């Protein structure tokens, strides 16, 4: 009976370590995540293209926003815990594209935003959808770096 219990405990521990290793090995290193650095004007065509190409992936952003985008962010969260800033769509200058940063329910910001310089930086997962009025929307979900990155030395 004792031998069966020890075998069961050993198998359980082996399974747990296997699962932990699987998730650890799936973490990214900083140089394995595509990054985008730029100053954005009211037309964000390059930024938009980068996010479209990396839809559903993790990205590292370091962008300086235009004064209009900064004002959008300074308005704060909407009722759905989103910070929204807009720019003209590079494909159609008469249409606006919305960038939505989705915050967790506790409102914690897992990204950096400097109000003075307008620099927005951090790790995000990207999603794209089309709103009912036809305007494109890009959702940016902030990801805490400690959940995403392996520590390398």
Assign residue 129 the CATH number of its domain: 2.40.50
Mean pLDDT for all residues in the chain = 79
Regions of the chain short of the pLDDT cut 70: 1, 11-14, 16-31, 42-43, 89-94, 107, 130-134, 149-153
In a domain, 116, yes or no: yes
Give how many domains the chain has, as a whole number: 1
In terms of residue numbers, what domain contains 138? Answer: 31-148
**pLDDT value at residue 113:** 92
User: Which residues make Cβ contacts (< 8 Å) with residue 100, sequence separation at least 6?
Assistant: 82, 83, 84, 137, 138, 139, 140
Handedness of CA 114, 115, 119, 123 (dihedral sign): positive
In a domain, 89, yes or no: yes
| DSSP 3-state of 87 | strand
**pLDDT value at residue 30:** 63
**pLDDT value at residue 14:** 67
**pLDDT value at residue 103:** 82
- Is the pTM above the cut of 0.75? no
In a domain, 49, yes or no: yes
Q: Which two tokens mark 122?
A: 């951090």
In a domain, 59, yes or no: yes
User: Which residues make Cβ contacts (< 8 Å) with residue 147, sequence separation at least 6?
Assistant: none
Neighbouring C-beta atoms of residue 136, cutoff 10 Å = 19
In a domain, 71, yes or no: yes
In a domain, 8, yes or no: no
**pLDDT value at residue 153:** 46
């Amino acid at each position: 009976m004792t031998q069966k219990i020890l075998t069961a405990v050993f198998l359980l521990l082996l399974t747990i370590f296997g699962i932990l290793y699987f998730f650890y090995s799936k973490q990214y290193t900083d140089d394995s995540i595509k990054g985008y650095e730029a100053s954005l004007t009211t037309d964000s065509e390059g930024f938009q293209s980068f996010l479209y190409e990396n839809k559903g992936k993790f990205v590292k952003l370091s962008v300086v926003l235009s004064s209009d985008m900064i004002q959008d962010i300074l308005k704060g969260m909407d009722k759905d815990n989103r910070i929204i800033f807009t720019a003209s769509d590079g494909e159609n200058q008469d249409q606006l594209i919305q960038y939505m940063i989705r915050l967790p329910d506790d409102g914690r910001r897992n990204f950096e935003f400097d109000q003075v310089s307008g620099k927005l930086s951090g790790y995000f997962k990207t999603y794209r959808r089309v709103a009912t009025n036809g305007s494109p929307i890009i959702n940016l979900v902030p990801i805490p770096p400690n959940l995403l990155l392996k520590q390398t030395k």
